[in-house]
Each structure stands twice: as C-alpha cells, then as structure tokens.
Chain A
Amino acid sequence: GEKLVLSELLQPIRPKSALSSVKKELNRVKQKKAVELPLSKEEAQRVVREAAYVGTSKDVGKWQQVVLQNRRAEQLVFPLKQEIATVVPLEQVASTWKPRTPLEQEIFGLLHKTQQPTVDPLLTPEETASLQAMSLEEARQRRAELQKARALQSYYEAKARREKRIKSKKYHRVLKKSKRRKALKEFEQLHKSDPEAALAKLEELEQLRMQERMSLKHQNKGKWARSRAIMAKYDLEARKAMQEQLARNKELMQKVRVELPEEEEEAGDMPEKDLASVTIPMGASGANPWMLGKPTGPAEEPQVEEGLGDVAVPGAAERKEEEEEEVVSEEEALLQDFAQKRHTRQQWAERPEGRGADETEAIPELLGDSPIRPVCDEEQASLGMEQPSPAQEETLLSEQLNRVQTMEDVEALASEEHVEEREKPAAARAKKRVQQQEEGRAGDKRAKKTPAKKKKIISLQAVLSGKPQEVPCASLPLVVEEEDGGVDQRGVITEAFAGDDVVADFRREKRKAEQAAKPQPVNLVLPGWGEWGGTGLKPSTKKVKRFLLKPPPAPPRKDQHLPHVIMSERRNIHAAAHQVNELPFPFEKHQQFEQSIRMPLGSTWNTQRAFQKLTTPRVVTRAGHIIQPISAEDV
C-alpha cells in the first residue's frame, strides 16, 4: 500500500482554484449538442407576422358579439351615442372673434369707442331692488308653508272625491243609517241639555216627514215595484208584496185618492183595437243572412220583450211564426253555415284549401289564402336536373333602357309581362315549360267546357221588381214602429230585398258549376264511314257506342260535403299574375311565408300601439347628425 501523506489530506481544505469553474463549464458544454442555425430573415419575419396576425385577430374578435347583436337588432338608432348639443354663449363667441380687414377694424374701433358693455349685461335698478326685497331664508319658509297647505288641501279633496265616487248602494245605505242614528243620539242629548233647541229640531224633523209623505216613494214607480208588477200576474207573493206596498202608500197619504194600480192598466191597456196591417216580407226573407247581423233567431227579433212588458204578445202570432220557421228550418241551417263561413273567412287561417271558394271573390281569396302556387313535384323532378351556378344568383335590380317617370309608366310596367327568360337559369326555364304544358292542358279542358258563367250579383232591378206583399198581421203592435231605429231599419232592408232569394240562387249556381266541371265525353263518330250516309240518317248505335270516348270519372269534388261553398279548381290566371311563384329565400316552408303575409300591418287592423311597433324602421338616422364609427364606449 501507499502511504498516506498529510499534505494530501489537507488539499481539499485549500480554496478552489479559479480553473475548477471553467472546468465545470467545459464539461457542461461538452454534454450539450450544437445550437441550431438561426432562422433566415424571411423565415423569422414570417414567424413574427404569424404571431402578430393571431394576436390581432383575437383582439378584433372581441367585436364579434357586438357585430352580431347589431346585425340582428330590431332597430338601430344612429348616432349610437346621443350627444347633447351645447350652445356657446354669444359673448364668448364674440370675444374670440377679431377684426382682420381694415373695414372690420374701423367698424370695431367705432363700436368700442363708446365702451358699450357687451359682456354680461348689467341689471336694471328695479331688478336689483326686487332681488333684495326678500331675504332668501324668509322666502324659503313661506314657500314651504304654502306647499304644505296645498298638499293638505289636495289630500282632502282626493278623499272626498273618492268617497263620492263609491257606487255601492249598501255603503250609502249604511252611511245614511249611521247618520240618522247619530242625529237621533244628538237629539236625545240635546233634549236633555237644551229643551228649546230640541223643540226646534223636532219641528224640523216633522217637516222632513211631511216631505217624505208627499213624495212618491211608496207608489209603484220604483224599480222594485215595477219588477213586482210584472211578476204579479203569475206570482202570489209578488202580488202580496205589491198590495202591502200600496197599503203603505195609503197609510202614508191620508188624503186617499182613488186610482187604479198600474198593473191593471197594463193588462187592460192592450186591447186588440187595431189589427195593424203591417207589411212583412215573405219567403226566405226572414232568414236572409245578408239582412241580419246574427245568424240565429232572425224572425223573433222584432218581438223581443220590451222592458216593462208593455207588449203582450198574442199567442196566435207566435204560433204562426213558428210554423214559418219550420218551413224554412232547412234553409236556416244552410244559412247559418253561410254566416259561419263568412266569419271564418275573416280569419283566413284554418283552410288554405278553401282557395277559390267563391267565384266572385276569387282574386282576393287566392291572394290571401295561399300566395304560393304549388308546383307539380314529379314534373319538376323530371325536368330540373341543372343547377344554377352561384354566379347567376338573382339580381336585385332589373335594368332597362326605358325610364319610368310617371304613374302611367309605372302602371304599364306592372301590367307588362315578365321578360326574364334571358337571364333565368335553365332550371327556371324548365319550370316555365312545365307551366306552359299545364296551361295548355287547362286550355284544352276549358275549350270543351261550357263558357264560364257570369258573376252573380244582387242586381238593383231584381230587388226593385220584387213587390212587398201586404199581410194582415195582428201580431205586431204599433209600438214596434215607435221603437228605436235598429229594428225598424232591419225591417226596411228585409222589405227592400224581399224578392231576392239568394239561397236558391246559390244552389242553382252550384249545380251549374258541378255540371260544368264534369268531364265531357268526346264524340268521334263520323257519319257515313262504314255505312250509309245522308240527310236524315243517323249513325248506328253500335258505331256511336264505339266512337264515343267516355272520359274517366272526375275525382270527387272538394265541396261535395259543403253545401254552402262552391270550390272552383280552375286556375285563375288573373290572380296568378299577382301570386308568388317560388318560395322566397329566407323562408323554408310555405306556411311560414303565408303566415308572414297574413298578418296585417296597418292601423285599420291594429291598435295604434301595435301599429307603431309593427312599423318601426330597422335603421333610424337623423338628418344633420354625424354618425361616428362605433367605439368601445358605445358598447
């Protein structure tokens, strides 16, 4: 072995040499791999750009929410930040202005020679005096007092008004009773304390009682009494109550005056003295829906009980009415349906298939009910194979060489046919072809049909020619004529349209329409071929049988179960010109679009508030206001 030397043991105690750290560094460097080459300038710039772009995009992306919100906003009012215009006082403006030209300077010099105070005009002596007349403290106090007084007065007034307005009879009764009781109590107290005054008060009360006696309070003029009077005929108790009341009256009125109670008058007053000959319309007149607002019980209307039961309705007349009703009951039902239909038509909604229900109203109906004409699906599928390129999206403007300047021009434009084939993509053209085919087919059909029937209107001639018939009628008392105008007018109308049997006309019309819509057989029989021909010779039945082509039966009519409707399935070209062909872009379903059209906007159909809400513009700007770009403060 080796020997241990002291000097060796002491070595680690000595301070480290400066080289050791260098050595360590060297070791570390040896372990590390080589540093990559620095990026080329282009590469480095690219990295910087990319980083900057990502950062900036993120910054700008903060506006996303605001932008979306503004795009969807129901209404945007610009400028977004409403600034209040400040008016600079004239003195300030005047002080900043300086004369420049020699002329201006001269004028300015002249003006300023007189030392007229232009800034802050002085107060007149009166004004200063009035300012000093009352101290501020005093004025304030006085004002507070006045304010309080006014407030109290207003409270009191409000309370009084409120109490006065209470309608409850019971409340008032109780109030009255409590007042009376209070008065009695007071009177008793008075009696004890001051007999003189009490006597005077007694006198007063006596006076009051007399007044009441003289009043007609216990005669049968009150509401209650009158109702009893009506009931008295049938109800024993009512009669008794009546009697009691009268007795009371007698009791109260010492001087008995003999007079008949009113109810007897009523009963006896209606003699059958004049059997009025009143003209009433015959036939279906009573049931004519055009004459009546309400569909039900039209005939009874004039005989509605008059409040007091003045009119006693003779039974005979009623019976007669009933008979009549039974006769018309059938028509009645039909007409009720009619009225109902009218009602539903107002709401358009439920039946899109109710299109073209009535010939006379075909155009509006078509417009309203289904603004989109359904296109035949299978035909479209067979023809439409080409897709329009996005380049040919629909233009917003149709640019022409001619100017439109007057109303006549515009109208001419409206009536003009669409000349859009040139730009329309092939698909559209295909569609058009389909339409043409359809039209051709329809035209063929139409040619075979009987000429279209005319519109049915209520003609003045027909109305005037129908004479009202005179019928002796005991049922209607004269009182009716004195009634308010409503019933009377209705009578006049029924009279005027007496001869106009709308229902029968309608049924006839419907029958005609049904006949016309039936497919007609095609007769291809040629006389003379294969047999003898000549005048007076008819083709044989065998031949006729062979060459008469019977068309397949038409599908069942849509209105076959609706007695009050005529549905024409013919396409109305006049209406079609106004209709929308294709579903417009933002809408996805026909129903959506129809819904949007159905909702009226005008103030004719909407309340003022709703009208304003419906017609608010999307963007509101004000003339003369500068609109600044949006900034972070606006949001």
Chain B
Amino acid sequence: VPRNYDPLLHPFEVPREYTRALNATKLERVFAKPFLSSLDGHRDGVNCMAKHPKSLSTVLSGACDGEVKIWNLTKHQCIRTIQAHEGFVRGMCARFCGTSFFTVGDDKTVKQWKMESPEYGEEEEPIHTILGKTVFTGIDHHWKEAVFATCGHQVDIWDEQRTSPMCSLTWGFDSISSVKFNPIETYLLGSCASDRNIVLYDMRKSTPLKKVILNMRTNTLCWNPMEAFIFTAANEDYNLYTFDMRYLESPVMVHMDHVSAVLDVDYSPTGKEFVSASFDKSVRIFPVDKGRSREVYHTKRMQHVITVKWTSDNKYILCGSDEMNIRLWKANASEKLGVLAPREKAAMNYNQKLKEKFQYHPKIRRIAQHRHLPRSIFCQIKEQRIMREARRRKELNRRKHSKPGSVPFVSERKKHIVAVVK
C-alpha cells in the first residue's frame, strides 16, 4: 500500500508512541497469567526432576518416597510410575540419547532405567543397578559420552558398562550435594559441598582444579548452556552467584531477591536467563546480567520449591515442591500461546520494542514492575530491607568514627567470598 510518510502528516510521534507503550504495558500486566497447570500424583514431596533430551513433552520426577514418575506435559498426565528406591530419590538424569535414565537414592544404589515403559507382561526392572559404599546425593550424565558422575562423599565418574567408578575425585572429605557436567566443554565438572565450597574438576586429567569457599553453603549449581565458562550457584544465604570459572576471586554478578535459601537453579536454553527455586515458596526468573529478578511466581498452595527446570524450547518452567505437586508455568508470563498470525507477531514485536524504549518513564515503569506477593514474603522482604539498611548504616558510622582507611569498602561481589583455594 503506498503511503505518505511526510512527517507533517503524522505529528506528535513521541506522545503517540508513549501512549501506545503505556497501553502495551497495561495489557501485558492484564494478560500476565503464567500458571498453566499442576501435575499431581506424587505421594511425597518432589525432590528432583529431569528433562528428556529429545522429547519436549516428557519430563521425569523423583519424590521423597523413592517413587519416580514420567509425565506427559501435553496431556498433563502421568504416563508411568516406578518405585525406584527406598527412601529419597536423591537425583536423576536422562542419558543424552534419551533412551534411558539414571536415578540415585538413599539406599546407596545407582539405577539405570529404560525410558520406554516395559512391554506386556514384563516386570518394571532397572537395566543396571550399582550398589555403592556410601549414599549418593546427586548424579549427572555426560553430554556426549557414555559416562556419568555421582556425588556423595566424593565425586565418582563411572563408565556405564562397569560397576566400579573410573575415577574418584576428592579434595578433603565432605558430603557433596550436587555435581554438574559442563554442557559445552563436556570434560568439565562443577560440584558443591556442604563445607561451603564449590569445586571444579577436569575429567581428562582426573583432578580437581580449583575451589572457592563462600560464606554459606551452596545447594546446587548450573552451567550456562551458551557460555562455556559461566555457571551460577544457588546459595543458602538467599543469593545466587554467577561465576566466571577463569576468575573465581569474585562472582560476575550477585543475584538477590529471594528471602530464603535458594534450593535449585536452572538456565534457560538460550543462556540469557535462569530460574531459581527457593525455600521461601516462590520461583524467580533472573536475567543473567541483572542483579534483580524480572519475575516472581507463586501460588497460594505452593510450598517450599525444591527443584525447578526450564524446558528446552525456552517456553515453560516446571517446578516441583514440597506439597507433592509439579507446576507448569509460562516462562514469559503474558505470552500468548499457540500460533500467531503475522500481524499479531508484528504487533507483539512492536509492543515489545515500545516497552523497552519507554521503560524508564515513571508511569510505565510503575506498571511494568508491579507484582503481587503473598504477605509472608512481602513482610520478609520488608524486614530484610530494614536489616540491610541497619547494617549499612552501622558500617557507615563505623567508617566515620574510625581512622580513615581502617574500615575499607568491600564491594558486594567480594563480600561473600571467603577464599579461593588452589
């Protein structure tokens, strides 16, 4: 369609676009309905989850009573239930090809299961079972080879075909809570132990690389799937720390907003954001390069969130919590699901850009930032704000009344690092 773009004919560009941006922001908030459904069926708290590497509609979950369930996300149904362990299912992971998965439990065993349900008349049995000497607390599979790693008293690296570990990596004695393979440089491993440290390992040289000790215990860590040297650690001190593995002296970014221990973290497959689950009954989404969250999800019935996953098409978030449910959320709260017409898509892109352009204007920012919180979290936030303020004031006063230079400024990033051990 031929059009006349003479600016004289279309005056007031900025005010008109401002109005459009304001409307777009309002509509975004009105349509922000992130909760999709709840998958119920577990008979105890959900302790761990795993994504299927080849199928978007399949997700696996393990509960505190040793039960493993496989879910179909499109139908919101459980398609298979296995009594895998006695006691907790501590960790689970799928093989990179998606044909089988591994679970570890409190009964000191590692079990490998077929992904397909057993044939008619067949017993529900693991393919392999490995009996270990100590309790395993976590497991992760290599991204390309038939190798997996478990953690417990030490990090063990196993060949799938053998019943004894290829090598055991230790650095001091402590219970290690989580171990993760680097998805890009697949020989790299990261683990976090309960003596407050994060240790990196190299599988090729079968040696630990470096250890960083934080103020409090790290619960789990997750590698960025697009940036080989970046990982994020979920800490007990309510914060998340993003590290560059080449410079462990200080984290690249400290992410704060949670008001209780952060229990799990998972990266979005685009590597631009990550989602964290916390003991404070909420799930938050952080941009990698921002210190504050962009989104908080909570419902009345959701209790302490123990595990969280971001689906590999970047569209949904799954979280498993104490009260036996797995919840499915949209990763982008106000996104319209389903097929978009080209015009809809263009309008959506335009609105997105407008929101970005006018994001600093106070009225728009006020609307865009508004989130509802349950009273408990809200009060805790307020309380912690007061505490933080008091601490800051105290430090300020101390600095004011002592010899210049004796109370140094310590940046927020350095504050939480105790030491880096070579």
Contacts and interface: CB of A to CB of B under 8 A. Distances in A.
B362 interface: yes
Interface string B218-231: 00000001111110
Given A101-B120, A364-B15, A60 B185 contact: yes
Given A70-B226, A629-B225, A403 B372 contact: yes
A353 interface: no
B10 A396 contact: no
A151 interface: no
A60 B369 contact: no
A416 interface: yes
Interface string B274-311: 00000000000000001111111000000000000000
B132 to A, nearest CB: 24
B5 interface: yes
A120 interface: no
Interface in A36-78: 45-46, 48-50, 52-53, 55-57, 59-61, 63, 67, 70, 76, 78
Nearest to A364: B15
Nearest to A593: B360
Contacts of B7: 346-347, 605
Nearest to A621: B314
Interface in B231-263: 245-246, 256-257
B362 A418 contact: yes
B222 to A, nearest CB: 12
Given A407-B30, A627-B313, A413 B353 contact: no
A469 interface: no
Interface in B191-205: 200, 202, 205
A577 B10 CA distance: 25
B412 interface: yes
Contacts of A386: 396
A91 B29 CA distance: 50
Interface in B363-411: 363, 366-367, 369-373, 375, 377-378, 381, 385, 388-389, 392, 396, 411
A55 B204 CA distance: 11
B120 to A, nearest CB: 4
Given A596-B357, A601-B357, A401 B378 contact: yes
Contacts of B26: 407, 410-411, 414
A87 interface: no
A11 interface: no
Return the 9 tightest CB-CB contacts between A and B, nearest first.
A627-B269, A629-B183, A629-B225, A364-B15, A368-B14, A600-B13, A100-B120, A396-B292, A53-B209
28 contacts: A57-B245, A57-B246, A60-B229, A63-B185, A63-B228, A63-B229, A67-B229, A342-B8, A368-B13, A392-B388, A395-B369, A397-B294, A397-B295, A397-B369, A399-B372, A400-B373, A400-B378, A401-B375, A411-B26, A578-B362, A581-B362, A596-B357, A601-B350, A614-B353, A615-B349, A626-B53, A627-B269, A629-B226
Given A414-B367, A598-B14, A621-B270, 20 more contacts: A57-B229, A70-B226, A345-B11, A346-B8, A348-B14, A395-B369, A396-B293, A397-B292, A397-B371, A399-B373, A413-B367, A422-B385, A579-B362, A597-B358, A601-B357, A602-B20, A627-B314, A630-B225, A630-B228, A630-B271
